[in-house]
Amino acid sequence: MAATPSPSNIESTSTRAPIDLTSTSFLEQLTGDEPDVDLGAPFTIGVAGTRAVEIDGRVALAPMAGVSVQAFRRQGRRFGANVVFTEMVSVSGLHYANERTRDYLRIATDEHPIAVQLFGTDPKLMYDAAQQVAESGADMIDINMGCPVKKVAKTGAGCAMLDDHDLAVAVARACVDATDLPVTIKIRRGMKNGSRDCLTLGPRLVEEAGVSALTIHPRSAAQMYTGFADHALTAELVELVDVPVFASGDITDRVRAEATMALTGCAAVMVGRAAQGNPWAVRDLASGNQVEPEAEERVAELVRFIREVTREMPEQRATGFLRKFYGWYLRGGAFGRQQRRDLMELETTLQVQEYLLSRWPDAEPRLAELERTVRYPDDTDSIIELPVSIYGGG
Ligand SMILES: Cc1cc2nc3c(=O)[nH]c(=O)nc-3n(C[C@H](O)[C@H](O)[C@H](O)COP(=O)(O)O)c2cc1C
């Protein structure tokens, strides 16, 4: 492991060209001398003293507030994601025994390995929350230190930690001390454009707090989702720490995933937006199977997703939650704008299912096959009222 550079020389030492996966030329950066990468190779997360977690491949499904509900995570696992993350959970909510927040900690048996993501600023509350996460049966505790959403940042949590490294280390340390689960942290590059703060904070989180893995989304908080994630920083971070690093940002297909691993040396890649309403992107990433689904397959998978979501939350919440998914699932040639619009206007999820199956009757046998082969989570014979995050867009 290379020595940690001091903050002063961090601003000036990079000689690396940016790695922009959104540009068509990113592959030109490969020299051919990179080590072979294998997205199917298992690896382990867990430093000494923690219960190590075996992960059977290199593709993680990103935590996404307002998206990564249990149905999304289970579907991601079914399509090949090797590890999944929950939406971020407020530790204050857990502390005040807010039932809805507690329900975030419900985990189905087929989600493992899974990390529950927490956000907060008070080390004592983080400690207690980490213990609750361990009791829930999660495999890892992840801490959000990148969310740029105002509601989160103004409390000092999420991306605000990128500007307060001592507090970030204290918060991470509290979670490490609370249980024997590995603690992982998700960061952005820094608050401001061009920031390289991740390169000082990341090593401190590992060396001083004892965290077991890092995820970096190398955009600044100010950037939100504009521009590109500069994975040259991922490569620099990898050199500075001796724990696995997940690369997050603009990883949409297998080519990008393999190039990112080869160019940065990261241990694993994380897919977020590309997987929204598109589990086939996860399948491509995890197995290299790039076959575009037929319309019937999309419809069957969407109907099954709707059914699972309506077991997670009451009808009224499900209706609102699901609307964004209709557009995501039904992109592509076979679906018209009018049909997507119709779906938005239907009032119940049952009406949506009927609409879809009457327009695409060939989806019926595929749906029946899904219903036959993919079981519902063990504890959801009735509505279990899992909550959906109110903090969109981490
Ligand atoms: C709707 C949405 C919600 C998100 N919520 C979270 C979150 O709760 N926690 C987190 O660490 N990152 C969150 N993110 C960031 C993603 O995990 C990921 O780092 C980012 O989207 C970049 O990856 P991508 O280009 O594959 O989407 C969210 C992103 C989106 C689009």
Instruction: Reply yes or no on whether the pLDDT at 196 is more than 70.
Output: yes
Say what the pLDDT of residue 96 is: 85
75's CB contacts (< 8 A; 6+ apart) are: 279, 301, 305, 308
Ligand 1 centroid vs 224 CA: distance in angstroms?
10
C-beta pairs of 327-332 under 8 Å, 24+ apart in sequence: 327/277, 328/276, 328/277, 328/278, 329/277, 329/278, 329/298, 329/299, 329/301, 329/302, 329/305, 330/277, 330/298, 330/299, 330/302, 331/277, 332/292, 332/295, 332/298
Q: Which has the closest alpha carbon to 271: 251, 294, 290?
A: 251
pTM of the model: 0.93
Say what the pLDDT of residue 390 is: 55
Say what the pLDDT of residue 382 is: 44
142 C-beta closer than 6 A to ligand 1: no
Query: Which pLDDT band, with edges at 50, 70 and 90, does 48 fall under?
Result: very high
User: Ligand 1 test: best mutation among 64, 161, 226, most atoms within 8 Å of CB?
Assistant: 64
Q: How far apart are CA 129 and CA 132, in angstroms?
A: 5
Range among 2-16, 107-121, 319-333 rated most confident: 107-121
Q: What is the mean pLDDT of residues 316-336?
A: 90
Ligand 1 centroid vs 158 CA: distance in angstroms?
12
> Considering the chain, what percentage of its residues have pLDDT values greater than 90?
82
382 DSSP β-pair partners: none
Closest ligand 1 atom to 271 CA = 26
Burial of 46 (0-12, 13-18, 19+ CB in 10 A): buried
Instruction: Reply yes or no on whether the pLDDT at 11 is more than 60.
Output: no
Average the pLDDT over each of 16-20, 87-91, 103-107, 328-332 and give the range with the smallest value.
103-107
Query: Which pLDDT band, with edges at 50, 70 and 90, does 10 fall under?
Result: very low
147's CB contacts (< 8 A; 6+ apart) are: 65, 88, 119, 153, 157, 158, 159, 391, 394
Say what the pLDDT of residue 391 is: 56
74 C-beta closer than 6 A to ligand 1: no
231 C-beta closer than 6 A to ligand 1: no
147 C-beta closer than 6 A to ligand 1: yes
Look up residue 162 and give its DSSP letter.
G
User: Ligand 1 test: best mutation among 73, 88, 273, 284, most atoms within 8 Å of CB?
Assistant: 273
Q: Do 243 and 265 touch, CB atoms closer than 8 A?
A: no
Say what the pLDDT of residue 333 is: 74
Query: Which pLDDT band, with edges at 50, 70 and 90, does 379 fall under?
Result: low
87 C-beta closer than 6 A to ligand 1: yes
Average pLDDT for the chain = 91
The pLDDT tens digits for 128-145 are 999 999 999 999 999 999
Report residue 284 as tokens.
Answer: 């491509």
Instruction: Reply yes or no on whether the pLDDT at 381 is more than 90.
Output: no
Active site residue 175: no
The pLDDT tens digits for 163-195 are 999 999 999 999 999 999 999 999 999 999 999
> Considering the chain, what percentage of its residues have pLDDT values greater than 70?
91
- Looking at the chain, the domain(s) classified CATH 3.20.20.70 span 29-287
Query: Which pLDDT band, with edges at 50, 70 and 90, does 2 fall under?
Result: very low
265 C-beta closer than 6 A to ligand 1: no
> Active site residue: 147, 159, 175, 198, which one?
147
Q: How far apart are CA 155 and CA 48, in angstroms?
A: 33
Say what the pLDDT of residue 7 is: 41
The per-residue b/e assignment along 372-381, b for 16 or more CB within 10 angstroms, e otherwise, is: eeeeebeebe
Say what the pLDDT of residue 91 is: 94
Query: Which pLDDT band, with edges at 50, 70 and 90, does 386 fall under?
Result: low
Instruction: Reply yes or no on whether the pLDDT at 384 is more than 80.
Output: no
312 C-beta closer than 6 A to ligand 1: no
The pLDDT tens digits for 277-294 are 999 999 999 999 888 899
Ligand 1 centroid vs 97 CA: distance in angstroms?
26
Say what the pLDDT of residue 64 is: 97
Provide CATH code, domain 29-287. Answer: 3.20.20.70
Nearest Cα residue to atom 26 of ligand 1: 272
Ligand 1 centroid vs 62 CA: distance in angstroms?
6
Q: How far apart are CA 292 and CA 202, in angstroms?
A: 38
Nearest Cα residue to atom 30 of ligand 1: 393
Cis bond upstream, residue 314 (ω within 30):
no
